[in-house]
Amino acid sequence: MPVSAKICGLSTPDTVDAAIRHGAAYLGFVFFPKSPRDIAPERAGGFGSPAHVGRVGVFVDPEEDLLAYAVRAARLSAVQLHGAETPARVAALRQRLGVPVWKAVAVRTRADLDAGRAYRGAADRLLYDAKPPPGADLPGGLGLRFDWSLLDGFDHPLPWLLSGGLDAASVGDAVGISGARLLDISSGVERAPGVKDVDKIATFLQATARL
């Protein structure tokens, strides 16, 4: 099974184009005001993309009105939740929005992985990301890496993807150690927080395609 990738935190036409041109499976748009990658749903909706490339909206404990609006305005094919959303809320949103829902699981220890089991039947996919330090303003996109060997042999309750500390140099190790087949990258293809680099996007996706 080939390895594919989601380029997250896109906000400009040239970086969206680079992600599509070099083979990203998903485009990620962040709808969270505290993030340097925050974008208005209608602006994200203005970026064209082919039908085979997914469009994922990233939210943190969002209001339902924002979710519903963003799904329409940004033409989202999936919603990714990074807050304290309970399994019950995830299941309700999944039914109400009519698109797949991905739930982020913050990981530092093997025990943290078990938190994902509660979302079986509620979410469509889990995203394993590094647990941020106490007091951090952002739940992800910090360039932090957890111990990928924690995923070796783990019985995943749902389809999943890997995030945190990825870049073109580390992607081979990430896949080899964790067994991930879908990767989510944001800060690893930036030249500054929230500023994507078209060359880094190309290099990462080319490295991914060789795995």
Question: 17, 38, 61, 129: which one is catalytic?
Answer: 129
Q: For residue 23, what are its two tokens?
A: 């083979």
Active site residue 14: no
Structure tokens of 138? 């952002």
CA angle 75/55/44 to nearest 5° reads 60
Rounded Cα distance, 48 and 22, in Å: 15
Please state, in angstroms and rounded to a whole number, the distance separating the CA atoms of residues 101 and 117: 15
Q: CB under 8 Å to 153, separation ≥6 — which residues?
A: none
Helix (H) or strand (E) holding 27, with range, is strand 26-30
Counting every residue, how long is the chain? Answer: 211
**In terms of DSSP H, where are the helices of the chain?**
13-21, 41-45, 64-73, 87-97, 110-113, 171-178, 198-209
Cα–Cα distance between 14 and 161 in angstroms, integer? 25
Q: Is 137 a catalytic residue?
A: no
d(CA 119, CA 168) in angstroms, rounded, equals 31
Q: Which of 8, 17, 124, 155 is catalytic?
A: 8
Return the active site residues.
8, 129
